[in-house]
Every structure is written in structure tokens, then in C-alpha cells.
Chain A
Amino acid sequence: MTETILDFNNVSKKFGRFQALDSVSFEIKRGDVYGLIGENGAGKTTIMKLITKLSPLRHGSISLFGETTGHYQQALKRTGAMIESPAAFGNLTVDQNLKVIAKQNGIQSKNAIDDAISFVGLEKKRKTKAKHLSLGQRQRLGLAFAILPHPDFLILDEPINGLDPSGIIEIRKLLYKLNHERQTTILISSHILSELYQVSTKFGFIHHGKFIKQLTKAELDKEKQSGIRLEVNDVAKAAEVLDNAKIKPFSVSNNHSIFVQTNQLDTGKLSQLLIMNGVELNGMTKQEGSLEQYYTTLLKQTDEGEK
């Protein structure tokens, strides 16, 4: 059985009257790259701060590497994290900042610092003071801090914020390497869902402090919708035509749009069918199912369920 790295059990958190987390439970297994998805203020950062003890736990329990809340100082030594914006000593160079982290973690090997610097691609900036780094470079430095002690579990809060496209690709490769070469388990959040989809093997959805769904990438691929979007003049008539032709499932999105939830249809034949039955076809788009779309639909369903 795969080892449970993190067991986040029935955790609630309030800031004044604001319920930041409401009975949130989820597990992360060894080797997972766990993508945490939620809107701003959903509770992603709060979860990460609770795990790393930057926020005191009041309700529920957290177990890290089998050690329980309040007593997992040793488990934290096996954990690396970058939460919110990366913090570094501005007047120290990249090299010196990493030396400080190395000393804090009792790391003697000089190679560890060289490895971390080359891992995040900051070789040319190692003598540059942290205050002179760009946002993307600071992000890389924060990542270097997190991976320097070779953690078994890595927590990354919006690690690709401020990175240019090539930086995003490099971070993606880096996370892949960490997960595959060092067997690092990763908990990651990002607003760029397409990116999160590429790196994660498991997803947890959080909305207004509630954990609404967890699924693996394979399950997500099955669930997320792909199909054909039709722009028509008369949705009722178009729906009737599709129904008669036994083209299912489909959903009416609005007065002019129908979404046919299958990608297996011949689009030429479909347009011919509609036109022949007197439906004016104004547009047809083949749509691949995306994480964004799945997320939007999931939130809509959750909000409707709450009403």
C-alpha cells in the first residue's frame, strides 16, 4: 500500500467571522503531484500554512509522514515549502541566501547549493543580490530554498507566478524531474489551470473553504467534457432535430448555443442535418475538454447544489 504523506483530516479554520476552511479532509500519497485548485480566498494558502504550522491549527488534525499535529517538527525537516511570495535577504547574494538556508537545515555539502542553483537555472545570478533579482528569478530562488534540503514533500503556492513562458516550461520540467528522479511528493497550487493540469497527477478542488472534489488525472480526463458547440438561430428546433437523430447527450447553453457532448460526430454531416431541417447554423466549434471548463462546471454545480 502506498504510504500516506499527508492526512488532512476534518480541518476547519476561522479568521474572525470568516470561515476560511470548513471540515476539509484529503490525503496525499507518496509520489503524488497534488494540484490544489480553487478561486482566490478559497483556502489553498491557508491549507499550506496549516501544514507548515505557519498558521495555528484549532479544529481537526493533520498528520505529516505519520507524525501528528503539534509534534511533527521532524516531519517538517523532510518538507520544503514556498508559500506566498518567496522571501529572501535582499542584501545577500543568491549564493549567500542559500548558504543561510543550508546552515539552518544543517546541510554541510557545498554541492547541495550548486545543485539547487543549477536545478532552478540561477547559475548566472549566483553572485547577484536578491534585491536585484526579477520577480521570476526571485520565484526560482524561493524554489531553490524549498528544494535545497532535498525534501520528500514539497509544498508550492503559486510557484509560476510572475514567470515568463520559458520560465513556466522550465519549472514544469523541474517539477517533473523532482517527482520522477527524486521521488518528491508535491502539493502545488496555481491559477494557471492548464499548467496545473500538465504537472499534476491528482487534483483537489476547494471552493469557499469547502473541499468539493478529489480525483486522479485519469478520472478527470474521463469526466471533463469535450464536444461540439453549435451556434444556431433556434435552439428549440435544433434540440428537436438532435433528439430525433438520437445525437446525445447535449445541453442548451443559452438562446443561441447548444453543446453536444461528444467529439465523435462528423461535423459535415451534423451541419447538413441541421440545415436540411431548417435550422440556421451560425457557427460550429469543436471543443476539447479542459481543466478550466471542468472547474467552471464543477463550481456551477456546487453553487446550484448549495441554493
Chain B
Amino acid sequence: MINQIRADMYRLTHSWGFYITLGLVVAYSFLITKSKSVGGIMVNGNQDALTRLSRENWTALDGIRGTTMSSSVLMYVLIGLFVIIIGYEFSQQTYKNTLISGISRFQFITAKYVMLLISILITIAAYFATVIAVSLILGRHVGTSWAHLMSTTGITTIAVAFFISIVFSIAILTLIVTNSVVISSILIVIFPLAVATIHIFADWNWLKYIDFFGVSNDVSLGKLTISQFGPYLLTCAIILVVCIGVSLLTIREKEL
């Protein structure tokens, strides 16, 4: 599995698509931070925070919170990573080379998920690092202690990357079932929109557990305690296990 991750990492770092994605993410972060504009797809937009962010002079911490609220848009940019890391394997049938090399189906699926998680983590880290760098360049205050800023940034980075990776794990399952990069990419696109739209028409409380970006916002705003975070993590873990498990069962029975 480690060999597969190394191979994917080599391929990713030798692909223009990765650097373009990284560039777009950094540019998006720069624009939000500089213009102090917040936007994204949310089920429960935190009005207080939005109002405050639109009025106040931003500190670096406000920058982190503002960009977190805008992070749902990153899904669309990060589709590129999904296509490079796993989509291309199926569209070009290069998975044959991979599977013939003696890697098990479980290792293949897990390696792909881990690689997606790593690449998303790198990209999201760059996204928030840009906020801090731009804030400092623009002479803004930190807005809190450096330790608090760094811990908030770190936790938010992990939360956003993890939540995006959960959506991508659903996309991996879709890809393996349908063999279609297009359908799985469409799923990534519609997921946050669907959660927000369904919430408007059906007032289902449980939707908050799959409103990953809403949770990320609450994390960055410090509104979720560790004990409150439990059900969200559990939901994610269940989705992840089900997606990887069903992907594994599907690929085992599939004619490749």
C-alpha cells in the first residue's frame, strides 16, 4: 500500500493539474482574505458571524473564519485531485497495471483514499497558510494569541480536509460502481448543493450531520466542543467505512 501511495504521490507531483489546483486554491484564499468577502454553500449560515465579518476589520483569525465559511467552494476545485488520483485510473484503465502488480483490492482502495486525504490536506493547509501570510502582508492583527491562531488553523484544516475526503469517499464508491468519472464528479458537485437544497424544503434536523461545511464553520468559530463533535465524527466514520467496504466488495466482484 505504501508503494502505491508513493507511486500516486510521484504521479501527482508530476502533474500540472495538481499545481493548477493548488494555484487556484491559493488565489481563492488570497481574494477572500484581501477583499474580506465571504461566500459558500451552507445549511445553517451563521448570521452573527457573517454580519460581524462583513463589518469588522479582519484580523488573521477572522480571515481563517471567513475562508472556512467559504470552503465549500473548494470542493469544485478539488475535483481535479479526485480525477488525477483515482478517476484517471478508471478512465484510462491504468488500474490494470496497478492491480496486476500484486496489490490487493483493499490496499488499492485504501491507498487511493489515503492519497486523496493527504493531497486535500496539503491543499487546505496551503489555503489557510495563504490567509495568515496575506493578513500579515496587509499588516492586519493576529486577533488572538499566535498559539490560539495556530491551533484553530490546524484543527480547521484537519476538519475541512477530513470532511471533503468523506464526500470524495462517496465519489470513489460511485466511480467504482459506475466506472464513470463524470457521474462521480457530478456527485461531488451536487453534494453540498443537495444538502442545502433538501434542508430548505425538508426541515430534517439530521441533515446537520452531513452538512460538513457547516460543521467546519462551527469548528473555526469555536462553537463546537469536543463532546458535541462526537456525533459528527461518528457519522463520518460510518460513511467512510460503508463507502470503502462497499467499494471493496464491488471491485472484488467486478470484471476489470
Contact partner, A76, options B6, B96, B101, Cβ 8 Å = B101
B103 at the interface (CB under 8 A from A): yes
Contacts of B88 in A (CB 8 A): 89
Contact (A104, B252) CB under 8 Å given A90-B92, A91-B15: no
Taking residues whose C-beta sits less than 8 angstroms from the other chain, chain B's interface range is 20 to 34
Bound complex: CA A101 to CA B255 (Å): 22
> In the bound complex, do residue B11 and residue A89 qualify as a contact, i.e. CB atoms below 8 Å apart?
yes
B227 at the interface (CB under 8 A from A): no
Contacts of A103 in B (CB 8 A): 3, 6-7, 10
Bound complex: CA A145 to CA B7 (Å): 14
Minimum C-beta distance from B4 to chain A (A): 6
Minimum C-beta distance from B102 to chain A (A): 4
Of the candidates A76, A100, A106, the one having the most CB atoms from chain B within 10 angstroms of its own CB is: A100
Task: Return the chain B residue nearest A15 by Cβ.
Answer: B255
A140 at the interface (CB under 8 A from B): no
Q: Which of A184-200 contact B (CB under 8 A)?
A: none
Q: Which of A64-86 contact B (CB under 8 A)?
A: 73-77, 79-81, 83-84
B180 at the interface (CB under 8 A from A): no
> In the bound complex, do residue B104 and residue A73 qualify as a contact, i.e. CB atoms below 8 Å apart?
yes
Chain B interface mostly helix, strand, loop or mixed? Answer: helix
Minimum C-beta distance from A36 to chain B (A): 17
Task: Return the chain B residue nearest A131 by Cβ.
Answer: B92
B99 at the interface (CB under 8 A from A): yes
> In the bound complex, do residue B99 and residue A101 qualify as a contact, i.e. CB atoms below 8 Å apart?
no
> In the bound complex, do residue B10 and residue A52 qualify as a contact, i.e. CB atoms below 8 Å apart?
no
> In the bound complex, do residue B255 and residue A73 qualify as a contact, i.e. CB atoms below 8 Å apart?
no
Contacts of B252 in A (CB 8 A): 56
Contacts of A89 in B (CB 8 A): 11, 88, 92, 94
Task: Return the chain A residue nearest B94 by Cβ.
Answer: A87
Contact partner, B256, options A54, A77, A145, A149, Cβ 8 Å = A54
User: A89-B94, A101-B7, A104-B4 provided; 15 other pairs, C-beta below 8 A?
Assistant: A56-B252, A56-B254, A84-B96, A87-B92, A87-B97, A88-B94, A89-B88, A96-B14, A100-B10, A101-B101, A103-B10, A104-B7, A104-B97, A105-B3, A145-B97
